[in-house]
Structure 1
Amino acid sequence: MAGDHGGQKESWHTLDAAAVMEKLATSPQGLTADERRRRLAEYGKNEIKEEKKVSPLVVFLRQFRSILIGILIAAALVSVFLGEIVDTIAIMLIVILNAAVGFANEWQAEKAIDALKKMLGLSATVLVNGSQVEVDSKDIVPGDVLVLEMGKKVPADAYVIHSATLQADESALTGESVPVEKAVCSLEEETPLSGKRNMVFMGTTIVNGRGRAVVTATGMNTEFGEIAGLTESIKDEETPLSRRLNVLGRQISIISVLVAVLIVVAGLLQNRELQEMFMTAVSLAVAVIPEGLPAVVTLTLAIGIRHMYNKKCLIRHLSASETLGTVSIICTDKTGTLTKNEMTLKEIYTPGHFTDVGGAGYEPEGDFTRDGQVIDPTADEGIRAFLRAGLFCNHAVLEEMDEEWKILGMPTEGALVVAAHKAWIPEYTLDIQNIKKEFSFDSSRKRMTTILDAGGNNHAYSKGAPEVISGLSSFYLKDGEILPMDDAARNEFLEVYESMAKKGLRVLAVAEKELGNELPETAEEGEKDLVFLGFAGIIDPPREEVKEALRTCDSAGIGVIMITGDSALTAKAVADSVGLESDGVLGAADIDELSDEELADRLWKTRILARVTAEHKLRIVGILSEAGAVVAMTGDGINDAPALKKADVGIAMGIKGTDVAKEASDIILVDDNFDSIVEGIHEGRREYDNIQKFTRYLLSSNIGEIIAIAGGLLMNLPLVLLPIQILWINLVTDGVAALAIGAEPAESDIMKHRPREIDRPVLDRKAMLMITVIGAWIGLLTLFVFIRSYEADIDEARTMAFTGIIIFELINVLNFRSFRWNLTNIGILSNPFIVAALVASVIIQVAVIYIPWFQVFLSTVPMPAMDWIILAALGLPLLFAGELYKYIVRKKGEKIKPGRERGYLSSS
């Protein structure tokens, strides 16, 4: 006996039932109890293997991987060596604070495999020696015969050996929005997963009918298990922000070492003492390192997580909030993401008339309009008969649960029920209880018929494939008159059907027949000489907000690619309805035929991908990443999990998403709203802009400290600033101000430029020039105030320099609120945190100068009031220069490049 469960992939769908039974050494009555026990011991439990758990200690230690954190720890060790215990404690406090915040936000173990296990369900019904027995789904073995009924989850992959209108919802596995009808048959070898009508798969749900199936694969050998394996094999990758900050950290570490060495060499050439020069080198190293940067970045991202949650984006990993702002391509599923995953009757064709049906989803509200005019559907005999037939030939039920309307049964049938409720006729509830007989739907009949007793007069109501129902109809109802069906009328109706199908509608035909007192024994009798009533055009409606969201993506330079398991025709229709432009549609076969280079080139123009598998999604995400894109993948199904984990940002649907998708993602959309992704990107861009702003602010401040210290050394002066004073500036004053910059509101045109290039550094040449000029200005001013007071008293001079550099840097904070917009444009009070930070910093500095304990701790002395005024006057020109620079930049017409430019998917 061989099969999937034994490690060899079998093409079970190509075999007939007898061959499957023979290969699995089983029978329609199932296995014996002893054989089941033997196979369970041989093949193991029907469960998904667990990933190795990540311990809290590992998660905590991950917070120390940053190069900047490494530099801080090294600085703390040097401080211990020099006996500077206060410096050591201050540095380590900031390191621990950073690690604690990061740990609190990232301590969520990877539970994708646990979520897969949960979806298996607790029990299943199998045949044991012909008797139905309830067993734990974990104990299912190859060869078991499953008893399948509506509402039950399928516990393993299995071959269908009996089907009575059996249908399965496989949207979570394949992306197909329409339930798949199951049949006993054999199929071609190349049949895709979504077309395997003779198979049922683990984790899917039976939504109609009943049947039996023999288990062919369990556990990790199922289609479900293969996806779990793909998800498990994908490693977490470094985010763009982490990469940029690590590059910056390496640059700073090199600069700090070079500056320290050069200063020591220069000092020794001046015949200064080695210990003094070592202390000076440490001071400069401390000045170079932006000690507050890691903590400010972490806290800013943590605050951003709260903001994003208010915008319905639940962030699972700290860095994902910033990464979302760098996204240049969104690979989005269709079903449940661009659409509502709620089948809705949108158009009714009754002979001679098209009628539009308003409303969306399962809410029983909406107008019936014809030629733009609202009509009363109960006053139109053709529509009334059509809706009655659709309601009675139906298994679905519409119920209101927890103030929300839901369908129990097949979504397609639910669309007909909802439409009937929109044009409600009270006596329908009486008639629908009187079903006398039913001829069920199956793959060969392609139709369903119910026989009802309507006050002693039996009626047959039928629905099914348009070509089948029209072929069985000898009459049709037009404007209240029953007319004979001729070839011309039948061809006309089929042309209408084709035109509706081309619009992406799923089309069902509806018919009826008056039987009188007769009760037909066979379907042929009941379905002979039907009266054709019309066509139902059903669609999974797009979300109303998607159009505007896509327009925003376009202006922001973000490409959107629809990836779906549905047909090309349906995918194209949905894309057209939401305004997603694409040069044709790529199907699974097309994708398989193209090389990675060819596919990357096609994806630039072709943005609709149909009949796509989990493997395709993984490949596409990889190709886009190789092309330089930052990829966000949205999804809600089991089949989306590997690509969600592979993408730079995995975005799962919170309402309709499976646990698997949620646990594999970085971000969960609380409201399943595509527009929330755009809001999240807006917030992510704001976060990164602010990270850039306070990074440049911190570094400009540090350059000022370096110039002040180095300048004093070159002028043969004592240390202008002590290491503890520098540390205080970097951690307390600059840290508070930088955090306030992190809360800066988004600039008005933030979604009107293309995403940043993936390899663009945090600091480019222009930024380096800017922070160097500003830093030099601050450093020279500080040196000036030190020299001015040095002859009187060294402590007074250091206090003046210490307070002066803080005042200058606080004034400089206002320059970094925006790189292009003046304070009058953005509003002086638009960021209250900046105001609070400035006031708090001044109050703290006053305390440092005048409270004795602080004076001892930071080596300060009291300052006259006039000195404060002098320092403020010296710093104000720095603000005026910054405002003038921004004004000149805008006058020159410096503009952000438009989003339409190719940049988010460049193959060159």
Structure 2
Amino acid sequence: MTGVRTPVPPYRLPGDEVVRAFRTDPERGLSADEAAARLAREGPNELPAARGRGLVARFLLQFNSPLIYVLLVSAAVTALLGEHVDALVILGVVIVNAVVGFAQEARAERALTALAALSRTTAAVVRDGALRRVPAAELVAGDLVELEAGDKVPADLRLLRTRELAVDESALTGESAPVAKDPAAAPAAAAPADRTGMAFSGTLATRGRGTGVVVATGAGTELGGIHRLMNATHAVRTPLTRKIDRFGRVVTVAILALAALTFAIGVLRGRGAAEMLTAAVALAVGAIPEGLPAIVTITLALGVARMVRRGAIVRHLPAVETLGSTTVICTDKTGTLTRNEMTVTAATAGGSDYILTGTGYAPSGTVERDGRRIDPAAHPALRETLLAGRGCNDARLVRDEDGAWRVVGDPTEGALLTSAAKAGLDRVPPRTSALPFTAERRYSATLHADGTVYVKGPVERILELCDDAAGPDGAPVPLDRTAVTARAEAYGEQALRVLAFARARTPASGLDGLPRLTFLGLQAMFDPPRPDAARAVATCHDAGVLVKMITGDHAATARAVGARVGLHGDVMTGADLEGDVSPERIQATTVFARVSPEQKLRLVQAHQSAGHVIAMTGDGVNDAPALKQADIGVAMGRTGTDAAKESADMVLTGDDFASIEKAVEEGRGVFDNLVKFIVWALPSNIGLGLVLVAAIVAGTDLPILPLQVLWLNMTAVLVLGLPFAVEPRDEHIMRRPPRDPALPLLTRAMTVRILAVSAILLTGSFALQHWERAHGASPETARTIVVDVFALTLLTYLFNCLSLDRPVLWRGVRRNPWVGVSALAIVAIQMLYTYVPAMNAVFDSAPLSATAWLRIAAVAAASYLLVEILKRLQRPRHAAPTGRA
């Protein structure tokens, strides 16, 4: 690996000085022996490989949660106390949770591997005066590399010679249009996007040819700098993992404190230490929500499955929810908000303006004037303008197997082919000669077999070459340079790229001594927004999610694209960010242009420091550090680079911004379902702990045994908890603001309900147990009452929690059939538990009378009514329904 070997960066030096500095030959290149020696000394032209986690490490990371630690410790203590069945059940829950998470992440990695392009890159290099192709990894500083259209630039090159060379640098700089290259040195302050004498590793030559000296390889390239920046960036833990971890820590402390209190009370009341240790462990087992990790994992995994159907691959389960908690989406422009396909949208010819419909490279669309479709054949000046774009052209349009059209060559020339095809102009007389575009000439020209010369280039240059113009009927008329310039400037204010076209007749001698030209017209092109981008941005705004566009493109282009998709306001450039910019101005700006990779990273960090949850989208190498820093990085699957995909938490197979809006909706639904489950499940654990504490304080027999606690947690909790994993999203989910990242997992209203239901479980089960014992029932019957009180109360409470702010009783069953299935299943399971002799023998249960069931049902009904009353009291007046408390 090597970096720059000159005191002055190569882009600032003339080509001959670079050749001398790198001890090479501008015609013969290095010798094979010298190249081999440098390769041995410097190492291969490769970026350092990212160290991935092994299978064992990835599996063990599934246990990295405070709640899992509590369960593992509980299983160990339970086993030490001789309760091996209980310990195995707890351990089984933990392992199932880990296997589900591990399997999902492995499936995501396989999907990403299938998306990656696994072809080896080669380079055309001159050694010992001969041109040969070698693996790009064998290039060394000083090698002489030849580039032509379609080549991937294999290392950082200082260009010595170019012929109409243009390079697509969008993956590195974010610049959407290919950059014309020439060997001239650049000033010291030039940003990478403005160093026209350089060709950077990882970019793509789209037009022409060039020769350059390798000045940096591997980690020493601009690409390597971004790679180092990405490795120095630490991945941010998601809001869900942070909240679950905090929740787990609170539960851990509460369980330990309650167990210690129980042990102390029992010992003070004269009970033996061994007995109280057993009771404390039973309390811990009852209070730990064993089903929570499994339901969280299942809910996230089902969310992942739905995301796949909506065009997204999720690498880590919590990422599904993180988009739902996002407050700011920092999105790339090229390929995300736009199609990354240049399209001619307007033309001016013969004094008239025309509109061309259709987007992308598909040759489908119409030509209109004054809102009416016209036949271009009846408008000679327009016809000739489009024909000139077709003839003075080196690109090709091809159709893939899936029917999509793409361009081979310069995207700008591809747009000219498409505009001609929309007018039915797919052929021109054969070309006999051509003049390529050069920085000195500033135009390109082609001579055709019928003697016609077509010329295209910048407006001001073409006007210099013209004496007259084509009138509406095609006949020559005086050229109004002022009107043409004004029209071109008007297009430019709309961020349209404008090319001018002209023609002439010349002798068969060729293009030497180009004659004076006849001006034909203008074609204005644009990288159009994706069809659903504006709607998706508006939906995000309705949902209270800020959308920020961060692009390496020019400010005028960024402003125009932003306005078209609903992102209005001031535009801030990378140069502005280098100055003294207040955090308030950064927060208020929605469009950032000409931004470097380091500045993208700083923008993400600036928004995070203000308390925002950031989703960063991107597809280029230049996006990778910011993708890794963001709370959730979202890479594009079709156009995204491998570096972007490896840095992201989620990869969208459909590259447009609308996919992100769908992901936000899906993430909110997943989080809602998780919160509903937690609000529903916790009263069981709290109630079990309180019942055990109350029995110890009162000096009575334990109202429920450890194995019966596990029965409840592994049947009632899991069977009744599963419907939450498939609960449909609330219809108003994208009409409410995002969650405040600073808020805890459970709000005050939710906590009140949890404690209210826990109190009912405590009083109902404790009272019924004493009622049965006072009327001569056996301990087994009294404990069966307690288990069935918990099961039926959790069943009625399930209907409370299908919506956290309004009643949905039967509507909840209709919209989620699994609610009814789970309700029937829990009733059947509890009947088996209560009446089957084998179950009675294993779990110390006993059959119940009909009157006992009536008393149990009364407790469950009272719980349902109390929660609905609390909902009514807690819901603000005139508040729109949200599906959340």
TM tier, smaller: over 0.9
Asked if structure 1 preserves the Cα contact closer than 8 Å seen for 2:434 and 2:511, the reply is no
Question: 1:571 maps to which residue?
Answer: 558
Alignment equivalent of 1:585, drawn from 547, 553, 571: 571
Q: Which amino acid aligns with 1:326?
A: S
Question: 2:488 maps to which residue?
Answer: 497
1:26 and 1:825, CA in 2 relative to 1: closer, same or farther beyond 3 A?
A: farther
Q: Secondary structure at the match of 1:365?
A: coil
Q: Alpha-carbon deviation of 1:115? A: 12
Question: 1:892 maps to which residue?
Answer: 877
Alignment equivalent of 2:441, drawn from 445, 468, 473: 445
Question: 1:56 maps to which residue?
Answer: 55
Question: 2:522 maps to which residue?
Answer: 535
Alignment of 1:630-645 (within 5 A): 630-645=613-628
User: Is 2:704 the partner of 1:721?
Assistant: yes
Q: Alpha-carbon deviation of 1:644? A: 1.0
User: Is 2:863 the partner of 1:878?
Assistant: yes
User: Is 2:666 the partner of 1:679?
Assistant: no
Question: Whole-Å Cα distance in 2 between the matches of residues 847 and 387 of structure 1?
Answer: 81
Question: Whole-Å Cα distance in 2 between the matches of residues 506 and 112 of structure 1?
Answer: 38
Asked if structure 2 preserves the Cα contact closer than 8 Å seen for 1:120 and 1:203, the reply is no
Give a deviation string over 1:880-906, Cα, whole Å, max 9, x none: 3333333444473345899xxxxxxxx
Q: Secondary structure at the match of 1:337?
A: coil
Q: Alpha-carbon deviation of 1:5? A: 5.1
Question: 1:905 maps to which residue?
Answer: none
Q: Secondary structure at the match of 1:520?
A: coil
Alignment equivalent of 2:772, drawn from 789, 792, 803: 789
Question: Whole-Å Cα distance in 1 between the matches of residues 508 and 123 of structure 2?
Answer: 42
Q: Alpha-carbon deviation of 1:234? A: 2.2
Asked if structure 2 preserves the Cα contact closer than 8 Å seen for 1:48 and 1:116, the reply is no
User: Is 2:266 the partner of 1:267?
Assistant: yes
1:756 and 1:117, CA in 2 relative to 1: closer, same or farther beyond 3 A?
A: closer
Question: 1:394 maps to which residue?
Answer: 393
Question: Whole-Å Cα distance in 1 between the matches of residues 155 and 115 of structure 2?
Answer: 12
Question: Whole-Å Cα distance in 2 between the matches of residues 554 and 127 of structure 1?
Answer: 55
Q: TM-score, normalization: structure 2?
A: 0.96
1:198 and 1:440, CA in 2 relative to 1: closer, same or farther beyond 3 A?
A: same
Q: Which amino acid aligns with 1:608?
A: V
1:383 and 1:542, CA in 2 relative to 1: closer, same or farther beyond 3 A?
A: same
Question: Whole-Å Cα distance in 1 between the matches of residues 819 and 536 of structure 2?
Answer: 32
Q: Which amino acid aligns with 1:423?
A: A
Q: Which amino acid aligns with 2:778?
A: D
Question: 2:454 maps to which residue?
Answer: 461
Asked if structure 1 preserves the Cα contact closer than 8 Å seen for 2:633 and 2:649, the reply is yes
Alignment equivalent of 1:25, drawn from 20, 23, 26: 23
Question: 1:66 maps to which residue?
Answer: 65
User: Is 2:821 the partner of 1:836?
Assistant: yes
Give a deviation string over 1:24-72, Cα, whole Å, max 9, x none: 1111120111111111111111111112231111111111221111111
Alignment of 1:77-226 (within 5 A): 77-107=76-106, 121-226=120-225
Asked if structure 1 preserves the Cα contact closer than 8 Å seen for 2:109 and 2:315, the reply is no
User: Is 2:503 the partner of 1:512?
Assistant: yes
Question: Whole-Å Cα distance in 2 between the matches of residues 856 and 481 of structure 1?
Answer: 101
User: Is 2:734 the partner of 1:751?
Assistant: yes
Question: Whole-Å Cα distance in 1 between the matches of residues 630 and 59 of structure 2?
Answer: 24
Asked if structure 1 preserves the Cα contact closer than 8 Å seen for 2:733 and 2:882, the reply is no
Asked if structure 1 preserves the Cα contact closer than 8 Å seen for 2:116 and 2:642, the reply is no
User: Is 2:689 the partner of 1:706?
Assistant: yes
Q: Alpha-carbon deviation of 1:108? A: 7.5
Question: Whole-Å Cα distance in 1 between the matches of residues 8 and 650 of structure 2?
Answer: 37
Give a deviation string over 1:300-347, Cα, whole Å, max 9, x none: 111110011112121111111011111111111100000000000000
Question: Whole-Å Cα distance in 2 between the matches of residues 874 and 605 of structure 1?
Answer: 54
Q: Alpha-carbon deviation of 1:274? A: 2.9
1:394 and 1:876, CA in 2 relative to 1: closer, same or farther beyond 3 A?
A: same
Q: Which amino acid aligns with 2:11?
A: H
Asked if structure 1 preserves the Cα contact closer than 8 Å seen for 2:555 and 2:573, the reply is yes
Give a deviation string over 1:707-732, Cα, whole Å, max 9, x none: 32233333332111111111221222
Question: Whole-Å Cα distance in 1 between the matches of residues 292 and 116 of structure 2?
Answer: 41
Question: Whole-Å Cα distance in 2 between the matches of residues 254 and 797 of structure 1?
Answer: 31
Q: Secondary structure at the match of 1:424?
A: coil
Q: Secondary structure at the match of 2:189?
A: coil
Question: 2:406 maps to which residue?
Answer: 406
| Aligned Cα root-mean-square deviation (Å) | 2.3
Asked if structure 2 preserves the Cα contact closer than 8 Å seen for 1:48 and 1:113, the reply is no
Question: Whole-Å Cα distance in 2 between the matches of residues 52 and 122 of structure 1?
Answer: 22
1:737 and 1:5, CA in 2 relative to 1: closer, same or farther beyond 3 A?
A: farther
1:185 and 1:110, CA in 2 relative to 1: closer, same or farther beyond 3 A?
A: farther
Give a deviation string over 1:393-445, Cα, whole Å, max 9, x none: 101112222122221111101111001111114xx53x34x111101111222
Question: Whole-Å Cα distance in 2 between the matches of residues 562 and 655 of structure 1?
Answer: 20
Question: 2:332 maps to which residue?
Answer: 333
Question: Whole-Å Cα distance in 2 between the matches of residues 199 and 371 of structure 1?
Answer: 45
Question: Whole-Å Cα distance in 1 between the matches of residues 289 and 539 of structure 2?
Answer: 36
Question: 1:864 maps to which residue?
Answer: 849
Q: Which amino acid aligns with 2:437?
A: F
Question: 1:903 maps to which residue?
Answer: none
Alignment of 1:300-449 (within 5 A): 300-402=299-401, 403-425=403-425, 428-429=426-427, 431-432=428-429, 434-449=430-445
Q: Alpha-carbon deviation of 1:145? A: 0.4
Q: Secondary structure at the match of 1:359?
A: coil
Q: Structure 1: any 5+ residue segments left out of the alignment?
A: 899-908
Q: Alpha-carbon deviation of 1:484? A: 4.5
1:117 and 1:695, CA in 2 relative to 1: closer, same or farther beyond 3 A?
A: closer
Question: 2:545 maps to which residue?
Answer: 558
Asked if structure 2 preserves the Cα contact closer than 8 Å seen for 1:328 and 1:629, the reply is yes
Question: Whole-Å Cα distance in 2 between the matches of residues 258 and 668 of structure 1?
Answer: 44
Question: Whole-Å Cα distance in 1 between the matches of residues 159 and 203 of structure 2?
Answer: 14
Q: Which amino acid aligns with 2:765?
A: T
Q: Secondary structure at the match of 2:101?
A: helix
Asked if structure 2 preserves the Cα contact closer than 8 Å seen for 1:360 and 1:541, the reply is yes
Structure 1 stretch 333-342 or stretch 772-781: which is displaced more? 772-781
User: Is 2:786 the partner of 1:801?
Assistant: yes
Q: Structure 2: any 5+ residue segments left out of the alignment?
A: none
Question: Whole-Å Cα distance in 2 between the matches of residues 110 and 809 of structure 1?
Answer: 38
Structure 1 stretch 243-252 or stretch 868-877: which is displaced more? 868-877
Q: Secondary structure at the match of 2:572?
A: coil
Alignment size in residue pairs? 879
Q: Secondary structure at the match of 2:25?
A: coil
Alignment equivalent of 2:588, drawn from 584, 592, 605: 605
Q: Secondary structure at the match of 1:504?
A: coil
Question: Whole-Å Cα distance in 2 between the matches of residues 496 and 99 of structure 1?
Answer: 64
Alignment equivalent of 2:580, drawn from 588, 591, 594: 594
Question: Whole-Å Cα distance in 1 between the matches of residues 873 and 264 of structure 2?
Answer: 42
Give a deviation string over 1:126-166, Cα, whole Å, max 9, x none: 11122111211111000000011111111100011111111
Q: Alpha-carbon deviation of 1:850? A: 2.5
Question: 2:282 maps to which residue?
Answer: 283
Asked if structure 1 preserves the Cα contact closer than 8 Å seen for 2:344 and 2:356, the reply is yes
Q: Alpha-carbon deviation of 1:110? A: 8.5
Question: Whole-Å Cα distance in 2 between the matches of residues 451 and 724 of structure 1?
Answer: 91
Q: Secondary structure at the match of 1:560?
A: strand
1:114 and 1:63, CA in 2 relative to 1: closer, same or farther beyond 3 A?
A: closer
Question: Whole-Å Cα distance in 1 between the matches of residues 250 and 328 of structure 2?
Answer: 30
Q: Alpha-carbon deviation of 1:804? A: 1.8
Q: Secondary structure at the match of 2:530?
A: coil
